[in-house]
Amino acid sequence: MMKQALTLFVSKFFLQKILIFIFLFSCINTHAQDLSQKITLKVKNKPLSDVIHKIENLSAIRFSYSPDQLPVSKLITIHLKNKTLQEIFDAVFLQNDVEYLIVENQVILKKRRVGSDEKKNIDDKKEKESEAIKPKYTINGYLRDKSTGEILIGANIFAKGTILGAATNAYGYFSLTLPEGKYILCCSYIGFKPVFQELNLTGNQTISFEMESSTAQISEVQISADDPEKEVEMNQSGEMKLTPKTLSGMTGFVGETDIIKSLQSVSGIKAYGDGSTLFYVRGGNSDQNMILIDDAPIYNPAHLFGFFSAIAPDAIKDIEAYKGDFPASYGGRLSSMIDIRTKDGNMKQFGMSGSIGPFTSTISFEGPVWKDRISYIVSARRANMNWIQRQTKKTLKINFYDLNAKLNFKINNNNRIFLTLYRGADEFSRIYSAGTNTFGISWDNFLSTLRWNHIFSQKLFSNTTAYISRYNYYLYISKEKNEFWNSEISNFSFKTDFTWYANTKNTIKTGIHCNIHSSNPGNVEISDEYVKRKLPAVAKYQSREFALYGSNEQVISEKWSLRYGIRVPLWQDLGETKYFTFNDQHIVIDSTSVNEGEVYKSFLTAEPRINVKYSINKRTALKASYTRNSQFLHMITNSVSPFTSMEVWIPSGSNIKPSYADQFSAGYFKHFSGLFYFSGEIFFKHIQNQIDYADHASLLFNPAIEGELRQGISNAYGTELMIRKQDGNFTGWIGYTYSRSIKNTLGINNGNSYVAAYDRPHDVCINISYKAKKHWLLSANWLYMSGSAFTSPVSFYYFNGYTVPVYGDKNNDRLPAYHRMDISVTYSFRPPEKRFQHNLIFTLYNAYAHKNPVSVNFTKILDDNGKLVVPTDLSGQSEIIPTMISVAGVIPSVTYNFKF
């Protein structure tokens, strides 16, 4: 009791300090958008254009000017310490025949004129009218990595000195419309050097840019230092973006970058705990998250029961995550969408990378088949678990692997084809009876995507995709006899998306999506034909889905912008199948057989969404959104163990209604002058037809499985805070989330509300990274979460020699709070500018060996020392174990990585 009280006191004390720390940062005065702000400016023999750019970086001021009207090449030498912007402007501009005019948050620079103020105002008005009647032309093209030819997703391109700009789409394409004139185009992207190009725009032009990678180490969440306010400008509410470079500085499990676990370190995304890739977003269940690999869903993104993600990091190019506020092109889940894009392959030269560690090894090859036209990449990973098999005298077998392959074919400037393949599999088995009987479990994922990009015109871009995805789970009774229980889900999809860059203020997207779903809730394969005939058959499901969507990203003014749209899905259940009819007590009263191809249930709904952004200034914004989402596929499992991949998927139908979620969110985002970025969001989510389970529900091999389900409502709300240091050798973030998830389901907990099992009110993450000179990188990650909810007995009674528990309210208790620290040290043998790179990563998972319980057992006996213990160990060894079971102690690891 003393230990629990001390832990609670320390946790509350720490949370109070974190909140005070975040509050103080959010109240920092970062100077108003006026000329009283003081800065220090020191330049020697630099052109005026460089001096202007430096003032922009030192302040929140942005300049607008025409380079051919100013002496931009004139060399300036000046040293002003702690002076106001007014004094600096007078010294830099007025002394060089340049006059300045403040218009809202911009400073307009012009050649100094001689004349009255009235004449000056007339000239300004004429200039604006001239701009309005100028013809407009479109620039389009791609942004690519100079060294590899890889397209850059989400890169920014804008006309310097204006508010006009665009971002590349998921295929690196951009389209930007500008009035006729001379411009300096600027391209910026995380981890790449900015590119500047002068342009005399007198007609439509196609221009592609190649950007050179910065050799500097990029921190976990760093945004381009050239435009620190871009993060405030470009992200919508509940949206985040990660690249391999943003992940490289994070502490991974046993030295390997883990995509899913990296996302779990972000505010609003809650991890399950040790040994699991399960995660929960804004009060939703784990099956309400969808993970896409090149547009195709992967149903189980886990290896080794969740200790590893199923996607090898070497194959990843870009990750975009949405916490409920999806663009209209996404649908099918209620809580989050994780869009993972894989690398296209090096178009320029052959490359190779890999890693060797005690748990896994990886290898990747990429290069051109036809330089600048066709490229490939192949990435593979396998488990190194032989040493575990030797320790168990080869009775225990643990193995997994995954393979990613991609072919990229540039047919011409207007057409491009991508082919993606993914395969991953796990096996966990144990041999008994002198090697004559092997039982265990295995699961596998397979997906393939074929995509075609086509440019109809400079303003119209399309992508057409066909994909297949399949997931299988096997519970082996005997591998020698090929006897097993199997569940499966698969789907085939075809979709076409169009993007019309109507003008600089409107980007319209529309498309159609067609899906065919098949699922097997679980059937048994037995070699004995007599037994097989006696076994009941669980009906399989067939469904199809059509969806239309349309959206517009609209810039209303310099301060206001909108993203709004609607998605309309139609879901239909098809035969051949059989479904049951239940009475009010969930007892089967009838069954109906459906012929092949016959539609027996349909659902049509509308999913509106809107996202509003108001820019207070260039570095501060308010954002708000409303989104409605629908989910027709549901994962059925009542297991609370992290060590399961047994996933049964069932569609909405005659007995299961679709789930709907309405989410409201609002946020405040600020980039402080200098080092820090702050974000704070609040949300409320209302879910209808949330699935829960009857007491003691039987879900394995049950033909009437739908009768075990109960549907109700769920309300989730919370606050997400994060402050980050982005520049310098010392970088990192502190994130805090307070959220609740409350359910109410008819027939459960006597009709009273109860917390969800994944309701964990407090969540803290501290992630730091320190770059020591050229060779050393030190990283640490600390997590704290409230314990998960579970149902514990309120008393016991004895009956015929047995201890019988008596249960009260559902989820009336909590496990102890979860907390863990991971530490990693990376030593790079060669400086980053060298082509051949290799390093060693030393990691400590759970560095201070905290035991985080995952289960509690109340069937207890006293050992010889008077300690309460569980009498048996279900893993097969005849020994007693503690009543609270934790997964992992300290796990050290050393991993060698190389790349050239």
Quote the CA–CA distance of 419 and 409 in Å, as a whole number: 9
For residue 402, the cross-strand partners are: 381, 424
The pLDDT of residue 549 is 96
**Nearest CA-CA partner of 57 in 727, 559, 614:** 727
Give me the amino acid identity at 97: D
* Edge-to-edge strands, sheet with 62-64: 62-64, 106-111, 98-103
Give me the amino acid identity at 43: V
Q: Which two tokens stand for residue 110?
A: 């012009």
Q: Which two tokens stand for residue 100?
A: 């300045």
pLDDT tens-digit series, residues 137-182: 889 899 988 888 888 888 888 888 777 788 888 888 999 888 888 8
pLDDT band at 672 (very low <50, low <70, confident <90, very high): confident
Asked if residue 9 has pLDDT above 70, the reply is no
What is the 8-class DSSP label of residue 538? P
Mean pLDDT for 7-24 is 41
pLDDT band at 17 (very low <50, low <70, confident <90, very high): very low
Tokens 């007892």 belong to 587
The pLDDT of residue 791 is 87
- Asked if 771 contacts 217 with a C-beta cutoff of 8 angstroms, the reply is yes
Give me the amino acid identity at 712: G
The pLDDT of residue 249 is 62
Quote the CA–CA distance of 355 and 357 in Å, as a whole number: 7
Output the average pLDDT for the chain: 82
pLDDT tens-digit series, residues 305-348: 777 888 888 888 888 888 878 899 999 999 999 999 999 999 98
The pLDDT of residue 216 is 40
The pLDDT of residue 113 is 60
- Asked if 448 contacts 406 with a C-beta cutoff of 8 angstroms, the reply is no
**Nearest CA-CA partner of 600 in 548, 545, 543:** 543
User: Which residues have a Cβ under 8 Å from the Cβ of 862 and sit 6 or more positions away?
Assistant: 868, 869
pLDDT band at 388 (very low <50, low <70, confident <90, very high): low
- Asked if 171 contacts 218 with a C-beta cutoff of 8 angstroms, the reply is no
The pLDDT of residue 16 is 46
- Provide the sign of the torsion angle of the four alpha carbons 147, 840, 241, 319, taken in this order: positive
Q: Are strands 351-356 and 891-899 parallel, antiparallel or unpaired?
A: antiparallel
Mean pLDDT for 680-702 is 89
pLDDT band at 118 (very low <50, low <70, confident <90, very high): very low
- Asked if 619 contacts 228 with a C-beta cutoff of 8 angstroms, the reply is yes
Asked if residue 222 has pLDDT above 60, the reply is no
Whole-number CA gyration radius for the chain = 30
Mean pLDDT for 202-217 is 78
pLDDT tens-digit series, residues 78-109: 888 888 887 888 788 877 778 877 765 578 78
User: Which residues have a Cβ under 8 Å from the Cβ of 245 and sit 6 or more positions away?
Assistant: 190, 191, 218
| DSSP states along 426-444 | EEEEEEETTTTEEEEEEEE
Please count the CA atoms within 13 angstroms of the CA of 841 that sit on its side-chain side: 27
Higher pLDDT, 163 or 550: 550
pLDDT > 70 in the chain, percent: 82
What is the 8-class DSSP label of residue 58? H
CA angle 420, 323, 313 (to 5 degrees): 35
What is the 8-class DSSP label of residue 816? P
- In sequence order, what E strands does 746-847 have? 754-755, 762-772, 776-785, 789-790, 793-799, 802-807, 813-814, 818-828, 837-845
Quote the CA–CA distance of 398 and 778 in Å, as a whole number: 32
The pLDDT of residue 469 is 96
Tokens 């749209």 belong to 565
Asked if residue 882 has pLDDT above 80, the reply is no
Q: Which of 239-243, 311-315, 626-630 bottoms out in mean pLDDT, i.e. has the lowest? A: 239-243
Asked if residue 114 has pLDDT above 60, the reply is no
Name the CA dihedral angle for 97, 99, 105, 106, rounded to a multiple of 10 degrees.
-60
- In sequence order, what E strands does 504-559 have? 506-525, 541-555
Q: Are strands 136-145 and 209-211 parallel, antiparallel or unpaired?
A: parallel
Higher pLDDT, 7 or 748: 748
Tokens 């790349």 belong to 899
The pLDDT of residue 116 is 45
- Asked if 489 contacts 126 with a C-beta cutoff of 8 angstroms, the reply is no
Output the CA–CA distances (angstroms, integers) from residue 84 to 34, 258, 590, in the order listed: 10, 47, 82
Q: Which two tokens stand for residue 180?
A: 């006729």
User: Which residues have a Cβ under 8 Å from the Cβ of 466 and sit 6 or more positions away?
Assistant: 449, 450, 492, 493, 494
pLDDT tens-digit series, residues 437-481: 677 888 999 999 999 999 999 899 999 999 999 999 998 888 888
Quote the CA–CA distance of 133 and 369 in Å, as a whole number: 49
Quote the CA–CA distance of 843 and 774 in Å, as a whole number: 19
SS3 729: coil
Helix/strand/coil percent split, the chain, to 5: 10, 55, 35
**Nearest CA-CA partner of 74 in 55, 93, 89:** 93
Measured in whole angstroms, the distance separating CA 535 from the mean position of its chain's CA atoms is 43
Alpha helix positions (H), 190-303: 230-234, 244-247, 259-263
Higher pLDDT, 250 or 132: 250
The pLDDT of residue 817 is 92
CB atoms closer than 10 angstroms to residue 229: 21
Tokens 């195709």 belong to 296
The pLDDT of residue 232 is 53
Quote the CA–CA distance of 524 and 484 in Å, as a whole number: 6
- Provide the sign of the torsion angle of the four alpha carbons 863, 866, 867, 870, taken in this order: positive
**Nearest CA-CA partner of 301 in 143, 400, 121, 424:** 424
Please count the CA atoms within 13 angstroms of the CA of 103 that sit on its side-chain side: 13
pLDDT tens-digit series, residues 713-743: 999 999 999 998 877 788 888 999 999 999 9
Mean pLDDT for 547-553 is 96
**Nearest CA-CA partner of 255 in 188, 209, 296, 308:** 308
pLDDT band at 640 (very low <50, low <70, confident <90, very high): low
The pLDDT of residue 109 is 83
Q: What are phi and psi of 673, to 5 degrees?
A: -60, 110
CB atoms closer than 10 angstroms to residue 623: 24
Asked if residue 205 has pLDDT above 50, the reply is yes
Q: Which two tokens stand for residue 101?
A: 């005019």
Higher pLDDT, 620 or 266: 620
Higher pLDDT, 466 or 868: 466
Asked if residue 522 has pLDDT above 50, the reply is yes
Tokens 């509106």 belong to 608
Give me the amino acid identity at 840: L
The pLDDT of residue 23 is 37
Asked if residue 217 has pLDDT above 70, the reply is no
Output the CA–CA distances (angstroms, integers) from residue 70 to 52, 66, 112, 513, 673, in the order listed: 12, 7, 9, 52, 27
